[in-house]
Chains A and B, each alone.
Chain A
Amino acid sequence: MAESDDLIIAGRRFKSRLFLGTGKFSSGTSLEQAIHSSGTEVVTVALRRVDLSSTEDDILTKIDRERILLLPNTSGARDAEEAVRLARLSRELGGGDWVKLEVTPDPVYLLPDPIETLKAAKILVKEGFNVLPYINADPILCKHLEEAGCATVMPLGSPIGTNQGIRTLANLEIIIEQSNVPVVVDAGLGLPSHAAQAMELGADAVLVNTAIAIAKDPAKTAYAFKLATEAGRISRLYSNSGIKTSKQASASSPLTGFLEEESRNVHGVI
């Protein structure tokens, strides 16, 4: 792959385009193996699940923070105020300036609230956070978040934890086409082929959690996702080359025949 094909978010460079979520793993060991075999460089953790002030937190001890970006998320926040409070707390406790913004007032489908997300994003950006918002696949919301200064947008492929894959295809295509910040497809990716599809569409990265965490073998599944993410990226960059197109031109050239008139005229003059 081209040397320059690193993913850059808020000035930080990443080789891997697979982000890993940390919920639902059966053990710290299982998580650690998945992190290792996925090759991920971004691991998101729910602020409500970890103790950032502790050096012995089971999840945090599995993350090599020299190599991997710890991305605290605000899951559980039901409105902007709660999300902002969690993010500030995270920074105070050494969680850094990065935050995955999640505002999900609906406890059943955990669908993100666009209005509260935008509100919180504006506040957090002003406070110097690198904000990565989890959102529905709404192209206009993406533009508002981009204007607010978010470091990425993270539209969902399908509702979180459902493993349905990409059900928001038409909107994701628009988001990817229009975005000036990296697009990370987050939520709903249940199979490595879903990750490959997202990358083939032109997503800059994918985030996977449930599909790996509850797999029969999380480490092997994480490896499959790593390969699929890379395959999708390579396919996006290179695989169209050489495909022959069908020629629809007819001998009479009905649409561009007027250009032949020009040639005849020119010759006539000569």
Chain B
Amino acid sequence: MYTELFDKISFSEAKERVLSKSKIDIESALHSSHCGKPLNFEEYLSLIHPTADPYLEEMARLALDWTKKRFGNTISLYMPMYLSNECRSSCVYCGFSFENKIPRKTLNESEIRAESEILHSKGIRHLLILTGEDYSITNLEYLRSAVRILKSYFDSISIEIYPMDREKYEVLIEEGVEGLVVYQETYDPEVYSNYHLRGMKKNMRYRLDAPDRGGLAGFRRIGVGALLGLSDPYGEMFRLGEHAHYLSKKYWRTTIQISLPRMRPAQGEFDKTIFVSDREYVRFLFALRLFLPDSGLVQSTRESIRMRNHLAGMPITHMSVESRTDPGGYSGGEELKQFEIEDTRKIEEFTEMLRKKGLDPVFKDFDRAFLQVPDRIV
């Protein structure tokens, strides 16, 4: 389990390992990448270091080259569907936090169908379903029922919900779920403890090992991520790289994806966000691409239009589009969103931008024939 690796070094030691890197380490790492080798972990840490900034253009060229070699000129598109904003956990930075007195909603079957029909009509075949952390309302049976409906509309269904036991993951895979996404939020135990006040989410270690349980259950894709802005970004990037690398080596049948969301405004009064500049954010993404060239790098609509336009295909490979972060948001109705999104472009406008860049927007690259589930019914 990842926690065994995690326990070997503290968060502050991890941060210091990054900051101990020098210019010569950075140049050596870039040399490896020029030689066609994926970076090793120490080399990856070098490129996270702020001293790597003068080499950003070189990193960009390498990132573009690696992305093209491994993913071609394609961008996989997906859309999120929030099934529920019910939450029993209190995470101080999140709009869904139990403490926030906002209207709560969980989609029923007809509402799920209504949302699905809208997304399906837009051509989307990759769906990410999300819930808050209310284990009683969005329980396993609720999720199974939802997936039974959704698989009539979508070829690939991934979940971004509360962490589960392996056995429950197995049930969902059998039902037709292909991918699992578990953002750790922060890998800093102290900050984690301070920002997750109540609820099951307070159990950091259970969350840390959720991707392992997903790997053992047999998900085909597993996504991990850190929410940049909660703790020291160098410590977070050490851990995230370590975690993704560990998972990709251990669960070799599973594709690992990485996401680097930055904090966005949300309901509540959280005001301790640690600023991560565009330059830093881009440097982190380039370092990840050169370290893990086969991992999908996912970018959501949290980021600005400018950033998304420039990073598509270099190094980003998977993007959400036209997202709503509130349950029932695509069908209209109340505003119950988890956080503010930045890129509000319609799917047509976004795909036109991709095509102008010479990128092919991919709506479908998975088929449920891979899974032993009933055929499409619509």
Contact = CB atoms under 8 A, between A and B. Distances in A.
Contacts of A245: 27, 30-31, 34, 58
Given A241-B28, A246-B34, 4 more contacts: A240-B32, A241-B24, A255-B60, A258-B307
Nearest to B278: A262
Interface string B19-41: 00000110110111010001000
Contact of B282 (A180, A241, A256): A256
30 contacts: A177-B38, A178-B252, A180-B249, A240-B31, A241-B25, A242-B24, A242-B28, A243-B28, A244-B27, A245-B27, A245-B30, A245-B31, A246-B34, A247-B58, A248-B58, A249-B55, A249-B57, A253-B57, A255-B57, A255-B61, A255-B64, A256-B57, A256-B60, A258-B306, A258-B309, A259-B278, A259-B279, A262-B277, A262-B278, A262-B306
Contacts of A262: 277-279, 306
Contacts of A253: 57
A4 interface: no
A206 to B, nearest CB: 20
A253 B55 CA distance: 11
Interface of B: 24-25, 27-28, 30-32, 34, 38, 55-58, 60-61, 64, 249-250, 252, 277-279, 282, 306-307, 309-310, 314
Contacts of B277: 262
A119 interface: no
A143 B32 CA distance: 25
A250 interface: yes
Nearest to A146: B252
A56 interface: no
Contacts of B279: 259, 262
A201 to B, nearest CB: 10
Nearest to A139: B252
A49 B307 CA distance: 67
A244 B60 CA distance: 18
Nearest to B62: A248
A3 interface: no
Interface in A216-270: 240-250, 253-256, 258-259, 261-262
A242 B24 CA distance: 6
Residue with the highest number of chain B CB atoms closer than 10 Å, among A143, A247, A259, A261: A259
A243 B27 contact: yes
Contacts of A247: 58
A23 to B, nearest CB: 34
A259 B252 contact: no
Residue with the highest number of chain B CB atoms closer than 10 Å, among A180, A253, A262: A262
B61 A248 contact: yes
Nearest to B277: A262
Contact of B314 (A248, A250, A255): A255
A143 B252 contact: yes
Interface in A150-180: 177-178, 180
B360 to A, nearest CB: 20
Contacts of B252: 143, 178
Contacts of B60: 255-256
Contacts of B58: 245, 247-249
Nearest to B61: A248
A143 B250 CA distance: 9
A198 to B, nearest CB: 16
A240 B35 CA distance: 11
B69 to A, nearest CB: 14
